[in-house]
Chain A
Amino acid sequence: MRDLLTAYPPLVRSAALVAVTYRGRMILGVITGFFPLLTMAVWLTVVAEGGPPAGWTTGDFLSYYAAATLLWNLSGNHVVWRWDADMRSGDLSIRLLRPVHPFHQYATSDLGHRLVFLAMLVPTLTIAALLVPGLDYPADPVLLAAVAVALALAYALSLLMASTFALVGFWSTQTTNAWLLWWGLGSFASGWVAPLALMPDWLRTAAALLPFRTAMGFPVELLMGRLDPRQTVYGFAVGLGWLAVFALLYRITWRRGIRRYQAVAG
Chain B
Amino acid sequence: MIEVRDLAKHFRVHRREPGLRAALRSLVRRDHHTARAVDQVSFTIPEGEVVGFLGPNGAGKTTTLKCLTGLLHPTTGTVRVLGHTPHHREPAFLRRVSLVMGQRNALFWDLPAADAFEVNRAIYGVAEAPYRSALDELVALLDLEPLLGKQVRVLSLGERMRCELAGALLHRPDVLFLDEPTLGLDVNGQAAVRAFLRDYNAQHGATILLTSHYMGDVTALARRVLVIDRGTLRFDGDLAALVEAHSPHRLVRVTLREAAPAHAWAGLGEVSTMDGAVVTLVVPRAETAAIAARLLTTLPVEDVAIEDPPVEDIIRAVFADA
- A261 → B minimal CB distance (Å): 7
CB contact list, B82-134 vs A, under 8 A:
89, 91-92, 94-95, 97-99, 101-106, 108, 110-111, 115-116, 118-119, 121-125
Contact digits for A1-15, partner B, Cβ 8 Å, 1 yes 0 no: 001001101110010
Complex: A7 Cα to B151 Cα, angstroms: 22
Q: Is the CB of B94 within 8 A of A18?
A: no
- A253 → B minimal CB distance (Å): 15
* A266-B73 in contact given A3-B91, A99-B91 (Cβ < 8 Å): no
Contact digits for A125-141, partner B, Cβ 8 Å, 1 yes 0 no: 00000000000000000
Q: Is the CB of A263 within 8 A of B66?
A: yes
Q: Nearest A residue to B95 by beta-carbon distance?
A: A99
Q: Identify B108's interface contact among A3, A18, A261, CB under 8 A.
A: A18
Residues of B within 8 A of A181 (CB): none
The reply to whether the CB of A265 lies closer than 8 angstroms to some CB of chain B is yes
Q: Identify B103's interface contact among A3, A9, A258, A266, CB under 8 A.
A: A266
The reply to whether the CB of B52 lies closer than 8 angstroms to some CB of chain A is no
Q: Is the CB of A14 within 8 A of B108?
A: yes
Q: Is the CB of A3 within 8 A of B73?
A: no
Residues of B within 8 A of A28 (CB): none
Interface size on A, residues (CB 8 A): 27
Residues of B within 8 A of A98 (CB): 94, 123-124
Q: Identify A94's interface contact among B66, B91, B106, CB under 8 A.
A: B106
Residues of B within 8 A of A11 (CB): 119, 122-123
Q: Is the CB of B119 within 8 A of A266?
A: no
* A17-B104 in contact given A10-B122, A97-B99, A259-B73 (Cβ < 8 Å): no
Q: Identify A14's interface contact among B99, B115, B125, CB under 8 A.
A: B115
Q: Nearest B residue to A8 by beta-carbon distance?
A: B122
Q: Is the CB of B103 within 8 A of A17?
A: no
CB contact list, B144-196 vs A, under 8 A:
151, 179
For A6, A91, A96, A259, which residue has the most chain B Cβ atoms within 10 angstroms? Answer: A96
The reply to whether the CB of A174 lies closer than 8 angstroms to some CB of chain B is no
Q: Nearest B residue to A93 by beta-carbon distance?
A: B71
What are 30 pairs between A and B in contact, CB < 8 Å?
A3-B125, A6-B125, A10-B119, A11-B123, A14-B115, A17-B115, A18-B111, A21-B110, A21-B111, A90-B104, A93-B71, A93-B101, A93-B104, A94-B104, A96-B70, A97-B69, A97-B71, A97-B94, A97-B98, A97-B99, A97-B106, A98-B123, A99-B124, A100-B123, A261-B73, A262-B11, A263-B71, A263-B72, A266-B104, A266-B179
Known: A99-B123, A100-B123. 15 other contacts (CB 8 A): A6-B122, A9-B122, A10-B118, A22-B110, A90-B104, A91-B104, A93-B66, A98-B123, A98-B124, A100-B91, A258-B73, A261-B72, A262-B11, A263-B66, A266-B62
